Structure 1
Amino acid sequence: MTQAALPPKFEVHTVELVSVESSKITSVSLYSGRAEITRTYTLNVPTGQNQVKISGLPNVLDHSSLRVEGRGAAAIHGVTIASTPIPPIPSTSDALVALEHKQAKLNKAVARCQKAISSLETFVGSVIIGKYEAEGEKLDDKLLELEQLLKEVDKDIITERARLGGSNHRNHELGQTATISVFAETGGDIELVLIYAVDQANWSATYDIRVDMQTKEQPVALIYKAAIWQSTGESWEDVPLTLETVTPTFGMSLPELDPWRISVWKPSPPPGANVFSARAGFGGGGLKRQRMLRKSSAAFTAEDGEDFSDEAVGCALYCDEPPMQHMQLGIASQGAMSATYKVPGLISIPSDGQEHSVTIVQLQLDATMSRVSIPRAETRVHLKAKVKNASEYTLLSGNASVYVDGSFISKSSVPAVSPQESFECPLGLDPSIRLTYHPVEKKASKSGFYSKTATQTFTQRITIHNTRSIAIEDLKIVDHIPISEDAQITVKLVAPALTTPSNTGTLGGKGTRPDPVKVSEGVVAQWDGAEEAEAELTSLGKDGKLNWVCSVPAQGKVNLQLQWEVASPASITVTGL
């Protein structure tokens, strides 16, 4: 039986659609480096077997990710996808031919008008002046009109040529065609939903961090933004957008451990020797690509093939699915390692590869301010904040612009921060605190009768001046004393009088955390790192670093003193001091 003689129910009908013209994007889920697009098509199919061909899908579409869902009294039998042959570049069009013809006529008219004006000026001596003025004015007006028309035609020609080139460019970017076999018991409207993943789309977190130094409670306003770009070939026009913080991973199969072979060392052969060698092959477990698919009983993927029976793999299309709900601001889902954010309203992102900024949320956060200076290296005071993410939002790592009291201070970065975690944010320099690192004072002496010992005492003074009208709390000043690398040389800290865990009793390698030493009113000293809960206690002071934590009154000064002794046999010379 030939195809022409088949009953209507068994005839194969072809329905051709152009994706961007016949559908609308109803959802975009944007990951890092990848996006999942949901497109909805409404079409009319006759009774029987139908081949629905949807052209103009992006070249960056991941074929293995394509699946089809739908609604209506029909069943999907198969899905395939392939590249569409690119048509030749159109060099002209009927519109362009007409415009070029009009351009040529206008050029001739302009030339005639210019020639008429030139002739009139040549014979001006033989005509009445009044008549010359009247005729000349008419020709001038006509010439201006013709030149204006010529400019408009030139512009239209440029636009038409750009359209022809742009049409070909779009064909290059949207060169995939999906063919879907649909069997309809009865003719009528059905709805197909294509869900597919595309590359060339990305989003990254960016932040504005605004600090109000006059506010003690929640002094940090963190504006969490998304920088979005895509060059998939499809423009996302008025789409609901979901931002995913999880990064899809590929090749997560367990690696293989190759044999670890040893043998007797053999010298290299002399130059010029003819050497034959063989290498053992290394077995490699092929990386299996993890597909970014949501499994559904009402979905059919392009990998499932196309020649199947209704009973085996036909996917029913249901018409009672609930309508899409309006997206709201906030977190769509929250896991231990990732979160999903729904951007409020609808958003448009053209396929131009440019960054487009969207605000996710603005958070008011608590922060502990601190100031740190290392005057031996530089006498400037650095201001930083330890910010607690008390929100339910997962913060991705990203660049941040820092503003203090309304003024832009610096560019910084925010690390990946889970809810209830804290992170440190540098806030630039505090010019209101001035440090003076005085020249070191040195005294030398000798002792001993038979074996003389040379002792050198060093004193370093530091002056802190707070020029602000309010007191400064928790200013940390870090300095260090030298470390001996020879048993003949001993270094002893004199002031401040700090003890180490090894001096306060150790047991099983664990030391007792030494208390800070009060130096003066509002000033305590300790080994650097002692304030950190995870510090290795037995290593405190091994690097010679110590710090003072100071409270400096308004318009006041604080003086610090660091003193240490270096003792060695008088017969040797100590270097490095």
Structure 2
Amino acid sequence: MTSADPPAFEPTSIELQSVADSKITSVSVYPTRAEITRVYKFAVQTGQNQVYISGLPNVLEPESLRVEGRGAATIHDVTLSMENKHVPKSSPKLEELLSTREDKADALARCEQALSSLRQYLGSLTVQNLAVAQLESVLEQYEATGARLDVRKKGLARELQRIDADIAAERALVAIPPEHNKLRNKAAIGVFAQTPGNIEIALIYAVPHASWTAFYDIRVDMDTKESPVKLIYKAAIKQNTGESWDNVPLQLETSTPTFGLGVPKLSPWNLDIYRPAVYTGRPVHYAVPVIIPAPQSWRSHSPSRRSNRHYRSRSRSPEVVVMKHEEAAVMSTGNVNATFRVPGLVTIPCDGAAHNFTIVELRPQAVMSWVAVPKREAKTHLTAHITNASEYTLLSGTANVYVDGSFIARSTVPSVSPQESFDCPLGLDPSIRVTYPPVVKQLSQSGFYKKSATHGFTQRITVHNTKSVPVDGLRIVDQIPASRNAQVKVKLIQPALPLGEGEGVTGKGAEAESNAGAETKGKKSASVNVSKGVVAQWDGGDETDRRVSWMCAVPAQGKINLTLEWTVTVSPADAQIVGL
């Protein structure tokens, strides 16, 4: 055919099998789905070519399917349909094997029946119908016949076992494997070529049943002052899409589609005067507030198939990105989305199981702090205030916490954008020991006509740092009571924080004290230096929750002593104090 000849009227049919005749060049996994790019290379003839690609996943979302190509050809139309594959019930070889098995089974049954009859015959012989002289000859014949039947029985049993194995193998060949039942979508693509030659087309499609979640290992080295925290960012990837991802470049997307969500609108809120009903024997009508529903156009819309199509239409281009196998790459777009390129080529089978990969190891900025509330428990809680100084967006996920190589606790990491911070509880630190002995009490009275009683309390706290490094940022929290009656006055003696006598009264009698304590209430946030490296201050709360905290720096192998002293004065002296 010369170049002047028109192309053939009948289109050229090209049959391709998706898995065997293509290669996955890109997999982008989102939190709830995945986007696959498959590349097919084949030869076309001049004119119309009809390309059929079978074996695509059943769960493929039709609206997401896109076709792009390279070469001297034009893509005309693309259709997607579900194949109804016929499962063969048999084959000539299988029929022959089944017939042979039936013959062998009948022969085995006859052999077993002959052995049974032989045994019955021998058991029926008596002295009336068998002479003693003939007994030896009968026994010899019985032994020879029984031995011959036993050999035949064993041979037939072995042949049946071999035939059963051949039947099972043949049935496996003629039946469609279970995984192929998940690959029954078929794409038909019209390609018009100006000249014969090789072309390349890429199928890009989205599939559900694929996801990834973030999880972390947080490792803390307490003997290191600089960068004591190492955060290992990991991904658990699952997929049950019907096709296996073998040696594919993998990208992890942090975005989740939320298209179709509108800003909620407020409906009118009307008030009216309640008018009680008066019984008149006629139907009663009540005056009630009427709420006019918002117009339909105002109401927010939940995600629909249309919104999903909008998401799919904005999928990324199928351009193949050459990956660097030696290191992970990140493309961060601030607080909205980030793309992680997993280093190397990975394999994720279609099994629905979690396959774990390390994204990156980070050395974030971390400030360690310790908190103890010895009145409740003599344990010290360790917390790290971590700043994400990297370009990676951290998704929320679980974290295994290791301190000095030992597993301590399981915590959670919230969603953290670059340069954001979060607090990560690291469990208990047994190397900081807090001693909280019983409080020391004393009682005294004063006054001549109107006696008053003063109760004195002294609480001592000892902190021992058994580490080989100093601890800076230890907070010890305790409290003194708050008065709810003007007859009861609470005064803090030590540490000498600014709080007037009688201040903190709430409930009855509080109004009488409010003016007297107004001047010192503004000083409640002040702090005092108790000793070297120890600063005392009020620990937030209001007047009903009078907590005192000490911010401590404890040297290596060192101890510090803290004292909390206060008095409670009641007048008259014989009044009983509740809660003391």
TM-score range, shorter chain: 0.7 to 0.9
Decide whether the 8 Å contact of 1:228 with 1:357 is kept in 2. yes
1:576 aligns with 2:567: no
The 1-side partners of 2:86 and 2:301 are apart by 40
Decide whether the 8 Å contact of 2:26 with 2:320 is kept in 1. no
The 2-side partners of 1:142 and 1:43 are apart by 54
The 10-residue stretch of structure 1 (425-434 or 482-491) with the greater mean CA deviation from structure 2: 482-491
2:217 aligned partner, one-letter code:
D
What is the CA distance between 1:238 and its match in structure 2?
A: 1.4
The 2-side partners of 1:434 and 1:573 are apart by 37
Residue in structure 2 matched with residue 333 of structure 1 by the alignment: 331
The structure 2 residue matched to 1:525, chosen from 531, 536, 539, is 536
Decide whether the 8 Å contact of 1:500 with 1:514 is kept in 2. no
2:579 aligned partner, one-letter code:
G
SS at match of 1:20: coil
Decide whether the 8 Å contact of 2:64 with 2:313 is kept in 1. no
The 2-side partners of 1:62 and 1:274 are apart by 57
1:406-459: CA deviations, max 9, x gaps?
222221122222334433332222223333322223334455566655543332
The 1-side partners of 2:205 and 2:267 are apart by 38
Residue in structure 1 matched with residue 406 of structure 2 by the alignment: 407
Decide whether the 8 Å contact of 2:118 with 2:142 is kept in 1. no
The 1-side partners of 2:396 and 2:464 are apart by 37
2:231 aligned partner, one-letter code:
L
1:226-252: CA deviations, max 9, x gaps?
100011222212111001122222223
1:206 aligns with 2:203: no
1:209 aligned partner, one-letter code:
I
What is the CA distance between 1:493 and its match in structure 2?
A: 2.1
Residue in structure 2 matched with residue 38 of structure 1 by the alignment: 37
1:347-396: CA deviations, max 9, x gaps?
11122211000111223345333322111121112223333433332222
Residue in structure 2 matched with residue 223 of structure 1 by the alignment: 232
The 2-side partners of 1:30 and 1:110 are apart by 59
SS at match of 2:347: strand
The structure 1 residue matched to 2:566, chosen from 557, 564, 567, is 564
Residue in structure 1 matched with residue 267 of structure 2 by the alignment: 258
Question: In structure 2, do the counterparts of structure 1 residues 86 and 551 end up closer, same or farther at CA, with 3 Å as the change threshold?
Answer: same
Residue in structure 1 matched with residue 548 of structure 2 by the alignment: 546
2:261 aligned partner, one-letter code:
M
1:457-500: CA deviations, max 9, x gaps?
33222233444565544332111222344555443322111237
Residue in structure 1 matched with residue 462 of structure 2 by the alignment: 463
1:245 aligns with 2:254: yes
Residue in structure 2 matched with residue 319 of structure 1 by the alignment: none
What is the CA distance between 1:569 and its match in structure 2?
A: 4.2
The structure 2 residue matched to 1:181, chosen from 182, 186, 190, is 190
Residue in structure 1 matched with residue 494 of structure 2 by the alignment: 495
Question: In structure 2, do the counterparts of structure 1 residues 96 and 136 end up closer, same or farther at CA, with 3 Å as the change threshold?
Answer: closer
SS at match of 2:307: coil
SS at match of 2:20: helix
What is the CA distance between 1:397 and its match in structure 2?
A: 1.5
Decide whether the 8 Å contact of 2:526 with 2:538 is kept in 1. no
What is the CA distance between 1:32 and its match in structure 2?
A: 1.0
The 2-side partners of 1:297 and 1:202 are apart by 18
Q: Where does 1:124-523 land on structure 2 (aligned, <5 Å)?
A: 125-126=139-140, 142=155, 145-146=158-159, 149=162, 152-153=165-166, 156=169, 160=172, 164=175, 166-167=177-178, 170-171=180-181, 173-265=182-274, 280-282=292-294, 283=296, 284-287=299-302, 289=307, 291-293=310-312, 325-328=322-325, 329-337=327-335, 338-447=337-446, 453-468=452-467, 471-486=470-485, 489-499=488-498, 516-523=527-534
Question: In structure 2, do the counterparts of structure 1 residues 351 and 55 end up closer, same or farther at CA, with 3 Å as the change threshold?
Answer: same
Aligned residue-pair number: 530
The 2-side partners of 1:263 and 1:237 are apart by 69
Decide whether the 8 Å contact of 1:331 with 1:393 is kept in 2. no
The 2-side partners of 1:349 and 1:268 are apart by 72
1:501-547: CA deviations, max 9, x gaps?
99xxxx9xx96895642223443222226xxxxxxxxx677731221
Decide whether the 8 Å contact of 2:378 with 2:435 is kept in 1. yes
The 2-side partners of 1:104 and 1:484 are apart by 98
SS at match of 1:459: strand
1:160 aligned partner, one-letter code:
A
1:277-326: CA deviations, max 9, x gaps?
99854422545626334669999xxxxxxxxxxxxxxxxxxxxxx87524
Rg: which structure is higher?
2
Decide whether the 8 Å contact of 2:261 with 2:300 is kept in 1. no
The 10-residue stretch of structure 1 (136-145 or 344-353) with the greater mean CA deviation from structure 2: 136-145
1:253 aligned partner, one-letter code:
G
The 2-side partners of 1:431 and 1:248 are apart by 45
Question: In structure 2, do the counterparts of structure 1 residues 556 and 279 end up closer, same or farther at CA, with 3 Å as the change threshold?
Answer: closer
- Structure 2: where are the runs of 5+ without partners? 1-5, 123-136, 504-517
SS at match of 1:289: helix
The 10-residue stretch of structure 1 (353-362 or 87-96) with the greater mean CA deviation from structure 2: 87-96
**Higher RCO (CA 8 Å, separation ≥ 6 residues):** 1
The 2-side partners of 1:411 and 1:296 are apart by 36
The 1-side partners of 2:229 and 2:111 are apart by 72
Residue in structure 1 matched with residue 129 of structure 2 by the alignment: none
The 2-side partners of 1:15 and 1:145 are apart by 48
Residue in structure 2 matched with residue 62 of structure 1 by the alignment: 61
1:292 aligned partner, one-letter code:
Y
The 2-side partners of 1:351 and 1:340 are apart by 23
**Could you tell me the TM-score, scaled by structure 2's length?**
0.76
The 2-side partners of 1:556 and 1:296 are apart by 61
The 2-side partners of 1:256 and 1:449 are apart by 71
1:247 aligned partner, one-letter code:
T
Decide whether the 8 Å contact of 2:78 with 2:188 is kept in 1. yes
Decide whether the 8 Å contact of 1:103 with 1:153 is kept in 2. no
1:145-173: CA deviations, max 9, x gaps?
5476367447637x729x83644x643x3
2:497 aligned partner, one-letter code:
L
Decide whether the 8 Å contact of 1:202 with 1:230 is kept in 2. yes
Question: In structure 2, do the counterparts of structure 1 residues 437 and 112 end up closer, same or farther at CA, with 3 Å as the change threshold?
Answer: farther
The 2-side partners of 1:218 and 1:116 are apart by 87
1:560 aligned partner, one-letter code:
L
The 2-side partners of 1:326 and 1:94 are apart by 50
1:149 aligned partner, one-letter code:
R
The 1-side partners of 2:551 and 2:383 are apart by 15
What is the CA distance between 1:75 and its match in structure 2?
A: 1.5
2:322 aligned partner, one-letter code:
Q
Residue in structure 2 matched with residue 316 of structure 1 by the alignment: none
What is the CA distance between 1:205 and its match in structure 2?
A: 0.9
1:250-289: CA deviations, max 9, x gaps?
223333333333333356999x989999985442254562
1:262 aligned partner, one-letter code:
L
- Structure 1: where are the runs of 5+ without partners? 1-6, 300-321, 530-538
Residue in structure 1 matched with residue 22 of structure 2 by the alignment: 23
